[in-house]
Structure 1
Amino acid sequence: MLILKDISKTFNPGTVNEKNALNHVSLTLKSGDFATIIGSNGAGKSTLFNAICGDFMSDTGSIQLEDMDITFMPQYKRAKYIGHLYQDPNKGSAPGMTILENLALAAGKGGWLSHISKKDKLIFKEQLKQLDLGLEDRLNQPVGLLSGGQRQALTLLMATYNPPKLLLLDEHTAALDPQTAKKVLSLTKEIVEKNHITTLMITHNMHDALSLGNRTIMMDNGKIILDIEGSQRENTTVSDLIEQFKEKSGNEFDNDRILLTK
């Protein structure tokens, strides 16, 4: 489904601010894979997502999505095939538009749903009911008035309304309170499994990294240093992950957010 070959990216080359963000990254995801990604601060996790989405062109390598070479495809064209949720709940939806208008935008497959029929509204309400947040009765409320958790759940629904070929989740529950984060994570799992969406999810929670999906990937210094699945993953503990990071990177794990998460 997704093939990355030799992806590298250096920002501000030749200056004092030069940063080698991605260092010859290669990765293959099969259709339906749900891979969690964890890593130290500045490991290149979000940069990897930005490379896949086309926020910038990589210095080397190629990106193939299903049967398409998207290496040089503009970002707006990739957005038709790739869903992307961010840590910030304010991204991914239009605050000045109503819930109904946001869903109409999502339903339009990259364009505006020109006419919202009674049938469309009923479908939207049914979709919103699965969030269990009461949003189905607030279709005309501006999205900007929703709480962070409500908005993130709505954004998840929008990003998967027309199931994408690939879903990228960039710590999409990190800014939410624990109870809401648990709810959004449960919805994520349900939607991904129901629609068989190939997914990459960055998380700061090592327990989630090992319990969600079918693969766990660890990054450090712009490289993938660990990629486990199957029985190897099933027999791996959080302590094992920390120890393997130290062994493969030569450094202590330095992400306090991860180390303190239970």
Structure 2
Amino acid sequence: MLQIEHVSKTFNPGTINEKKALIDLNVSLKDGDFATIVGSNGAGKSTMFNAITGAFYVDEGEIVLDHENITYKQEHLRSRSIGHLFQDPLLGTAPHMTIEENMSLAYLRASNSRHSFWGRSRKKERDFFREQLSLLDMGLEDRMKNPVGLLSGGQRQALTLLMATMVTPKLLLLDEHTAALDPATADKVLALTRKIVAERKITCLMVTHNMHQALELGNRTLMMDSGHVVFDVSGEQRAKLTVDDLLEKFKDNVGKQLDNDRILLSNS
């Protein structure tokens, strides 16, 4: 479903601020893979996501999604088949628009429908939105005319997840999408994530700072450092790993300890 081949990206080349963010990055995902990603700050996790979504063009290499080379495809065209959630719940929705209007925009962006547009949703679509919102079990189906800015962070993140998946994407990118939420809300959004990804068999990449989640969620775990993947484990080998094993694998492959405080605290 996804092939990232020999991708490199350098920001501010030739200046004192030069940063090699991705270096000969290679990642391959099969249809239905759910891979978690861990790594230190600056390892290239979010940069890889932005390369996939088209936030910038890479310097070298190719990105292929479902047999289509999207390396130089425009970002808004990629968004029709790629769902993307950020750590900040405020980034995924338009606060001054209603829940219905936000959902309508997301639906029309990803679907092939040309029979409606935001602000003039047909009853069939409104009923579909209400049905989808009821899955969240947050009562939002009765607040469709309310501005999204009135929702809590957890409600907005759950709504963003729903908007990204109600038309099943080819690829779902989750960039620490529960990290800014309180523990109870984070658990609820994470449970919803697992349910949606499993039921719709969505190919998914999820960045997390929680090492336990990295081993418990999905079917693969990737570790990144200095712009490339340093460890990739799945199957029986992954099932036998503990968090301490994973940290030791990082040290063995990189030659240093993982120095991300948030990750280390999640292991305590």
TM-score calculated relative to the size of structure 1: 0.97
- Show the counterpart of 1:44: 44
Deviations 1:131-190 (A, max 9, x none): 111111111110011110000000000000111100000000000000000000010111
Distance 2:107 2:207 in 1: 26
Q: Partner letter of residue 121 of structure 1?
A: R
Distance 1:107 1:58 in 2: 29
Q: Partner letter of residue 26 of structure 2?
A: S
1:169 aligns to 2:183 (yes or no): no
Distance 1:118 1:49 in 2: 36
1:6 aligns to 2:6 (yes or no): yes
Stretches of 4+ moved more than 3 A in 1? 109-113
Q: Partner letter of residue 65 of structure 1?
A: L
CA contact (8 A) 1:242 1:253 kept: yes
CA contact (8 A) 1:109 1:162 kept: no
- Show the counterpart of 1:247: 252
1:27 aligns to 2:22 (yes or no): no
Helix, strand or coil at the partner of 2:90: coil
Distance 1:163 1:4 in 2: 21
- Show the counterpart of 1:74: 74
Q: CA deviation at 1:38?
A: 0.3
Q: CA deviation at 1:14?
A: 1.1
CA contact (8 A) 2:224 2:231 kept: yes
- Show the counterpart of 2:124: 119
Number of residue equivalences: 262
- Show the counterpart of 2:92: 92
Distance 2:110 2:212 in 1: 35
Q: CA deviation at 1:117?
A: 2.4
Distance 2:265 2:94 in 1: 34
Pairing partner for 2:189 from 177, 181, 184: 184
Deviations 1:25-55 (A, max 9, x none): 0111000000000001110000000011111
- Show the counterpart of 1:197: 202
CA contact (8 A) 2:79 2:109 kept: no
Q: Partner letter of residue 34 of structure 2?
A: F
Helix, strand or coil at the partner of 2:91: coil
CA RMSD, Structure 1 to Structure 2 (Å)? 1.2
Q: Partner letter of residue 199 of structure 1?
A: C
- Show the counterpart of 1:258: 263
Distance 1:123 1:71 in 2: 34
Identity %: 60
Distance 1:27 1:120 in 2: 37
- Show the counterpart of 2:133: 128
Q: CA deviation at 1:110?
A: 4.3
Distance 1:126 1:81 in 2: 22
- Show the counterpart of 1:154: 159
Q: Partner letter of residue 19 of structure 1?
A: K
Stretches of structure 2 that go unaligned for 5 or more consecutive residues are none
TM-score calculated relative to the size of structure 2: 0.95
Distance 1:29 1:234 in 2: 19
Helix, strand or coil at the partner of 1:260: helix
Q: Partner letter of residue 195 of structure 1?
A: R
